[in-house]
């Protein structure tokens, strides 16, 4: 645990310190777009916060590579860590180019495919999928490569999509990474496996990156992570899950199967809310005879603001929903029992009431 705590603190500290320089760089290269009508901030805010996050990640991975036990178990026995670093640099570079020059959707998609492909080429890909029967569905190399690329690209774009309010994407992904780390570490402890794994290291570093960036990004944001940051943390969230999938044996018991399939479920759970919002937006615009990519102000976060929630409270509510889903899955898999769904159900009910109820009636006039 000390190794993980150290890398988390290094990632958080380096990211926090690099936000200032990356913000000044954004002003120099013109990555400070004017505020748009659908935006929730009235003044231009610099992008390129992803450069600071990439710096935090690289610093943490460098420190981790010099820790004797971590180096032996993670960096020497597998190429996954090196694959992630390479893919992260490429993904962030594509995001930087988009933040500065507004790349076409096709060019950005090609860059995402390249970064995901680098993971596959260097050995980080889905190999097996656990089955309820207790066995595994094995993939051929091409099948695993295609599924890996699809998962990475889908997660990257979903995280990019959720980046609509100050602090939203960093908070949601940070929560998902914390849940993933808890799962990986606790399961290793209970099963007697090695606690030093690539997936746990990646999620710990991701937690640190998000924690170091949030003080600059909560409302009112002084800097945005931009596509350079959103695509980077989406890649890391997917890579951490892919690295862990199939690492633990399964048995016919459903609880154990849930433990084995959880690495794939967690990223989906974290992005479920924004992905649902995306599908509804496409349906809404298509029905109205508009392009599915046409912007509007009817997204979930816009609706929360319209209900009377403040900017900060709207973000907090979406953090809470992400935490309920992510940690609810982890607790259900690791603890089980009839009390677990009861407690989760009560928590969901209370959150629904707080989300849909009139804010002034629930909390008074304080905003």
- Residue range 38-54, pLDDT digits in tens: 555 667 899 999 999 99
- pLDDT for 168-192, tens place per residue? 899 999 999 999 999 888 877 876 7
- Tokens 């310190």 found at: 17
> For residue 272, what pLDDT is reported?
73
pLDDT-derived band at 246 (thresholds 50, 70, 90) equals low
Domain boundaries, the chain: 2-297
Instruction: Give residue 296's pLDDT.
Output: 63
Tens of pLDDT, residues 250-281: 544 445 666 677 777 887 777 777 677 767 77
Q: Region 318-322: what's the mean pLDDT?
A: 87
pLDDT digits (tens, 9 = 90+) for 14-28: 999 999 999 999 999
Residue 336 three-state SS: coil
pTM summary value: 0.88
Distance of alpha carbon 310 from alpha carbon 344, whole angstroms: 26
Whether pLDDT at 232 is above 90 = yes
- Measured CA to CA, the distance from residue 153 to residue 156 in angstroms comes to 5
pLDDT at residue 36, rounded to an integer? 61
Each residue of 111-135: pLDDT tens digit?
999 999 999 999 899 888 777 666 6
pLDDT at 366: 45
Residue written as token pair 């390129």: 48
**Residue 356: what pLDDT?**
77
Read off the pLDDT band of 5 (50, 70, 90). Answer: very high
Containing 27, the helix (H) or strand (E) segment is: helix 2-29
Is the Cα torsion angle 316, 318, 324, 329 positive or negative in sign?
negative
pLDDT at 251: 46
Question: Do the beta carbons of residue 184 and residue 243 sit within 8 Å?
Answer: no
Peptide bond before residue 70 is cis, with ω within 30 degrees of 0 = no
Mean pLDDT taken over the chain? 84
Q: State the maximum Cα–Cα separation within the chain, in Å, rounded to a whole number.
A: 60
């Amino acid at each position: 645990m000390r190794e993980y705590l150290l890398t988390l603190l290094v990632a958080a500290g380096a990211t926090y310190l690099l936000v200032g320089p990356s913000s000044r760089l954004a002003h120099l290269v013109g990555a400070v777009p004017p505020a748009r009508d659908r935006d929730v901030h009235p003044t231009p805010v610099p992008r390129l916060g992803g450069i600071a996050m990439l710096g935090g990640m690289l610093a943490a991975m460098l420190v981790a590579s010099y820790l004797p036990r971590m180096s032996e178990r993670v960096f020497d026995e597998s190429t996954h860590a090196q694959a992630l670093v390479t893919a992260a640099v490429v993904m962030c570079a594509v995001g930087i180019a988009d933040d500065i020059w507004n790349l076409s959707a096709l060019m950005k998609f090609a860059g995402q495919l390249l970064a995901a492909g680098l993971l596959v080429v260097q050995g980080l890909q889905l190999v097996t999928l656990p089955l309820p029967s207790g066995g595994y569905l094995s993939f051929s190399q091409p099948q695993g490569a295609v599924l890996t690329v699809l998962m990475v690209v889908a997660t990257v774009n979903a995280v990019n999509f959720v980046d609509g309010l100050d602090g939203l994407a960093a908070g949601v992904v940070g929560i998902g990474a914390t849940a993933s780390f808890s799962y990986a570490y606790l399961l290793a402890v209970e099963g007697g496996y090695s606690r030093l794994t690539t997936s746990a290291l990646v999620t710990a570093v991701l937690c640190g990156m998000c924690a170091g960036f949030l003080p600059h990004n909560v409302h009112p944001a002084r800097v945005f992570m931009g596509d350079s940051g959103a695509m980077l943390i989406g890649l890391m969230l997917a890579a951490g899950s892919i690295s862990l999938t199939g690492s633990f044996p399964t048995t016919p018991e459903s609880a154990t199967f849930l433990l084995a399939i959880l690495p794939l479920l967690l990223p989906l759970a974290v992005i479920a809310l924004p992905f649902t919002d995306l599908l509804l937006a496409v349906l809404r615009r298509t029905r109205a005879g508009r392009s599915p990519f046409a912007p509007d102000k009817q997204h979930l976060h816009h609706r929360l603001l319209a209900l009377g929630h403040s900017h900060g409270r709207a973000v907090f509510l979406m953090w809470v929903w992400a935490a309920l889903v992510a940690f609810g899955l982890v607790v259900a898999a690791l603890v089980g029992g009839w009390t677990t769904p009861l407690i989760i159900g009560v928590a969901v009910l209370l959150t629904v009431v707080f989300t849909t109820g009139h804010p002034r009636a629930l909390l008074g006039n304080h905003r």
